[in-house]
Chains A and B, each alone.
Chain A
């Protein structure tokens, strides 16, 4: 089988997929959940409940507001204690709905059985309505509302639906575990998205380091027309949207354009599974798979099915993490994740993993001068020149940023990883992107 990969840049990282074969465990219900009302890109949802209300699992708490927004549902049954502000992983305060939990009690209509149903509704407008109502957002990390991504403007056409099962970040295994345990559901989810987009060309892209998942899903796709599997090389950032399109179709998304402009729609496997559950089981998005991993001296690694709004420390306790020795707690993978300010930050729809790093490993190496080796430009998957962006910004010179295409940076961190002088290049690129966007 020919293994595909993107045309330039990228790194071969040590994978550290410690929890790759761990089964998905149910994290259970914490005594309190803190459900943020903004778990997506766009405007925050509008709260429609009040303090003292009794809610069930799946009760709508906040309604999508504006064009880019998503519904927020309750992940537990219980009583709303407070509508307050708590610290998110970045430390900024975000509005949350705090619910004191009681025994599980589902909203009427939610099918909790694990039986697979593949009787896809015929009306695609109806399917989009179901996805919208379920509050599904991109679960790979960006949190872009899925209904918008799947509603294609009249002047554009789609040729490819790419299901992203790459998970190229080290340590993270949430998508891999999901593909092992729910392969058929994912394939049916892909069929549902095929139906909405009006195509018969869904491609599930899987990293070569997940042979079991490849085998299982290939077996199942034989029974479903219009869904195929592509095996991609194990390389970082293979799972980046633009890189994946380049691998699978050979097309390149032009600077400043969206995947839809080259006829592609990319969805994460987690999102596809959520679509399946929303359409076939009428289950809103209120839980996700989260990997807890990292330094094996500090924590046991595992995959958990976690209710949205669960505080991180509850999950860390479950994984027997030595919380006092944590140097850094990352929300997301070690390359692109956010170093958390608070251990109590709630898990939201886009959190793929909690990575625990010891005190020693969390310190940055001392920076020295650039030796002009050009390694950063070599590994940049977007073809940028991070050293040039950094040296201009050091001199406070923002004029050439447009010519350097700083706004195209995807923040993958390859440049900072490879830099022998340990210059925080990805930080400079972030600044370059910020300044370049300001110039527009």
Chain B
């Protein structure tokens, strides 16, 4: 009886030993050699896998960082982790940390329910991209926000909400990581990733309507009518195709208040404190 037990132990033990040796050799021979740095960088990254950096995900970005030369590394940037994460990554690699200004998304439309009341009934699918294909939008503005909230579904970070009062998507700058998902999904290209100045301020034209003043104003009280008043206050501002655009070079702290106060339609929005929670790095 005990013979059979011993024989069993011997055979199964032998098979196990053979399998263990084979597995060990295979594992050694075909091991996937990951740069330890790559693993370290991946652990630092925010793991949002949002694609905001231009790579498929955080792992891909870590791989690109490790293989980058000093010049290439300066071009890589994780918009979610910002300078803090990039500082840590650069320490591992021994390069200089790329410095960029903090940014957040802004909506270049101020067609609120009050300023741009609904004129047209649309009872199709409540989806911006579909509505944009078939009609001008309920407000009658060909470039304005459609208010169905495709951007909300695109945002992974919960930075966008529809403001019940205005009907427009509202950006929570503290949560916004500038990944650019809203920029990509908006069929009317209303989102823009804009830098936040060092003193936490922003100024921009919240209108994208390229119609002539009277026509634009007809649909929305807050529309830019291309009166060029802002351009007279600040030489950098260009008014093209009936629409004013404030370049990012214009300092919000210097011009912001003045521009917003002097805009006759309220198309220029000045935010004196963009990020409420975070301190500026």
The residues of A with any CB-CB pair to B shorter than 8 Å are 85, 87, 90-93, 338-339, 341, 362-364, 396, 424, 427-428, 430-431, 434-435
A396-B153, A430-B130 as given contacts; A91 in contact with B125, CB under 8 Å? no
A90 and B134 contacting across the interface, CB-CB below 8 Å: yes
A91-B135, A91-B137, A92-B142 as given contacts; A427 in contact with B120, CB under 8 Å? no
B153 to chain A: which residues have CB within 8 Å?
A: 396
B127 and A431 contacting across the interface, CB-CB below 8 Å: yes
Our pick among A91, A338, A364, A424 for the contact of B120 (Cβ within 8 Å) is A91
**Complex Cα spacing A225 to B69, Å:** 74
Our pick among B127, B136, B137 for the contact of A87 (Cβ within 8 Å) is B136
**Complex Cα spacing A396 to B134, Å:** 20
A427 and B130 contacting across the interface, CB-CB below 8 Å: yes
B215 to chain A: which residues have CB within 8 Å?
A: 85, 93
B124 within 8 A of A: yes
**Complex Cα spacing A362 to B125, Å:** 14
B129 within 8 A of A: yes
The residues of B with any CB-CB pair to A shorter than 8 Å are 120, 123-125, 127, 129-130, 133-137, 140, 142, 153-154, 211, 215
A428 to chain B: which residues have CB within 8 Å?
A: 125, 130
A338-B134, A341-B135 as given contacts; A93 in contact with B142, CB under 8 Å? yes
B123 and A363 contacting across the interface, CB-CB below 8 Å: yes
A341 to chain B: which residues have CB within 8 Å?
A: 120, 135-136
Give the residue name and chain of the A residue nearest to B128 (CB).
Answer: A431
A430 and B133 contacting across the interface, CB-CB below 8 Å: yes
**Complex Cα spacing A396 to B152, Å:** 11
Q: How far is the CB of A368 from chain B (nearest CB, A)?
A: 15
A396 to chain B: which residues have CB within 8 Å?
A: 153-154
Q: How far is the CB of A122 from chain B (nearest CB, A)?
A: 46
Give the residue name and chain of the B residue nearest to A434 (CB).
Answer: B129
Our pick among A90, A92, A427 for the contact of B124 (Cβ within 8 Å) is A427
**Complex Cα spacing A364 to B122, Å:** 10
A434 to chain B: which residues have CB within 8 Å?
A: 129-130, 133
A363-B123, A396-B154 as given contacts; A92 in contact with B129, CB under 8 Å? no
**Complex Cα spacing A95 to B127, Å:** 27
B211 and A93 contacting across the interface, CB-CB below 8 Å: yes
B123 to chain A: which residues have CB within 8 Å?
A: 362-364
Q: How far is the CB of A154 from chain B (nearest CB, A)?
A: 36
**Complex Cα spacing A427 to B125, Å:** 6
B125 to chain A: which residues have CB within 8 Å?
A: 424, 427-428, 431
B130 to chain A: which residues have CB within 8 Å?
A: 427-428, 430-431, 434
6 contacts between A and B (CB under 8 A): A87-B136, A90-B135, A93-B215, A341-B136, A362-B123, A396-B153
Q: How far is the CB of A252 from chain B (nearest CB, A)?
A: 27
Give the residue among A338, A362, A434, A435 with the most B Cβ atoms within 10 A: A434
**Complex Cα spacing A430 to B215, Å:** 30
Q: How far is the CB of B153 from chain A (nearest CB, A)?
A: 5
Give the residue among A90, A428, A431 with the most B Cβ atoms within 10 A: A431
Give the residue name and chain of the B residue nearest to A87 (CB).
Answer: B136
Q: Which 9 A-B pairs have the closest CB atoms?
A: A91-B136, A427-B125, A424-B125, A427-B130, A91-B135, A364-B123, A431-B130, A396-B153, A92-B136
**Complex Cα spacing A107 to B185, Å:** 50
B137 to chain A: which residues have CB within 8 Å?
A: 91
Give the residue name and chain of the B residue nearest to A427 (CB).
Answer: B125
A424 and B124 contacting across the interface, CB-CB below 8 Å: yes
Q: How far is the CB of A94 from chain B (nearest CB, A)?
A: 10
